[in-house]
Amino acid sequence: MAGFRVAVIGAGISGAFFSDFLRGLANESRVSIDVYESSARRGGRALDTTAFGETADLAVDVGAAMYIEQNHYMAASAASLGLETVSRATTTKGRSRLLVLGSEGTPVFTEAAFSAQSMYRMASRFGLRDLKRLTNRGREFITNFSRLYGVQQRGEAFESVEALLESAGMADVPRMSCTDAVGRALSSASSNAATELVSALMRNNYGQPWAPAGALCCFTAVAPLAAGGSKAAYRIFGGNARLVEALLRRSGATLHLNTTVTSVTATSRGRYILGFSRQDRGASAAPTPSKDDGSASLRTDAGSVHEASSYDYVVLAAPCPPADDLAVNSTGASPNLLSRCSRLPFQLVYTTLVHGLLDPAALGSLLTAPELNGKFSDVLVADGAPLPFSSIGLQPSGGAG
């Protein structure tokens, strides 16, 4: 009996983890995995400076920069793959970790050298009740996520994503905006804890405005604060993209880079036809015959290769594709299933690497430049601040040390 064919759209952390989990359940004789990635690299949001020639010991994560120890999959996979991890507390040792700038662009919170003093400052600025509520909600979110890990490890199956989330007490989270979720958790969605702290955490973690974002992203951004801050935060030595690359290698998946999936259509036999295009500058304008697995290709004189392949299952592990990338139906009445994907608005994020010191005057600080840069490893900025950045993170030289 021939094995199943599975297509995974996206070679980021989601696609890599899915491929690795699937391979753990079935060997290559039972399941073959193809991973399609529209860009030229693996990793998705995990991107670091080794992609531009930096050595691993000096690598700076410019995308997804950390994970917390309660993220069991990240920690366990890194360990099983033999990847070295680095504690955020180690790399920021000797510095107060956090400076938060409010909507005016001036400091509203500075983390002190002692946790008790920091807690007093946070309570004074953000309100003791709101701070406690926010922290408790973040811890509840971490606990619920741990329940998801538990049901998956026990091999429990669910008829829908909604049923899976319900089992972990998270059924309402995907349907809520960050504004609604924070408004329920705090005294008001317009409180300092919301407009300054949550706002700054969202911009630091995702580079997005907090209010219109989904509650899932919102509480994921709050989770590190609830988990214990820098002492609970880790990264992969040499860049977090190394985990993605290692997971894909272990999965044995066939990786298709520079390949954009343009359609997914269902057949009457319960299979799926995946349509995709890739660039092939040496291509001639000649079609190739269909293969036994239902694959076919058409090369155009513009150098673009349009292909189709048949699969038993297709997994979308990437953001919904832009409408302009979707192909017009070419398989009769069968609809392009990708057109059903709900697209969420987002703003692009740009990362700039700078060798230099922060200017205290520009941040409304009375400290000297050496004092300011010696104290803080992270500068978070709330929405509305008249500053040309959403957050700044210090990357000490010397890698794991």
Express each pLDDT in 114-140 by its tens digit: 778 888 999 999 999 999 999 999 999
- pTM score: 0.84
Are the C-beta atoms of residues 172 and 346 closer than 8 Å to each other? no
Banded pLDDT at 112 (limits 50, 70, 90)? confident
By DSSP bridging, strand 304-311 and strand 272-279 are antiparallel
Q: What is the torsion angle, in degrees rounded to the nearest 10, for the CA atoms of residue 383, residue 387, residue 388 and residue 394?
A: -90
CA–CA gap between residue 74 and residue 220 (Å, rounded): 15
User: pLDDT digits over 41-66, tens only?
Assistant: 999 989 888 888 888 888 888 888 88
Q: What is the 3-state secondary structure (H, E, C) of the chain?
A: CCCEEEEEECCEHHHHHHHHHHHHHCCCCCEEEEEECCCCCCECCCCEHHHHCCCHHHCCECCCCCEECCCHHHHHHHHHCCCCEEEHHHHCCCCEEEEEECCCCCEEEECCCCHHHHHHHHHHHHCHHHHHHHHHHHHHHHHHHHHHHHHHHCCCCCCCHHHHHHHCCCCCHHHCEHHHHHHHHCCCCCCHHHHHHHHHHHHHHCCCCCCCCEHHHHHHHHHHHHHCHHHHEEEECCCCHHHHHHHHHHHCCEEECCEEEEEEEECCCCCEEEEEEEECCCCCCCEECCCCCCCEEEECCCCEEEEEEEECEEEECCCCCCHHHCCCCCCCCCCCHHHHCCCCCCCCCCCCCCCCCCCHHHHCCCCCHHHHHHHEEEEEECCCCCCCCCEEECCCCCCCC
DSSP bridge pairs for 381: 101
Banded pLDDT at 292 (limits 50, 70, 90)? very low
Residue 255 has what pLDDT? 96
Beta sheet of 85-87, edge-to-edge order: 67-68, 233-236, 85-87
Residue 283 has what pLDDT? 40
Residue with tokens 């317009």: 190
Q: Pick from 395, 358, 370, 394: which is nearest to 107 by CA?
A: 358
Banded pLDDT at 244 (limits 50, 70, 90)? very high
- Tell me the mean pLDDT in the region 235-242: 92
- Tell me the mean pLDDT in the region 384-401: 68
Banded pLDDT at 289 (limits 50, 70, 90)? very low
Q: How many CA atoms lie within 13 A of 103 on its CB side?
A: 12
Q: What is the torsion angle, in degrees rounded to the nearest 10, for the CA atoms of residue 111, residue 114, residue 119 and residue 121?
A: -50
Residue 10 has what pLDDT? 96
For the cut 60, the answer to whether the pLDDT of residue 393 exceeds it is yes
CA–CA gap between residue 32 and residue 4 (Å, rounded): 6
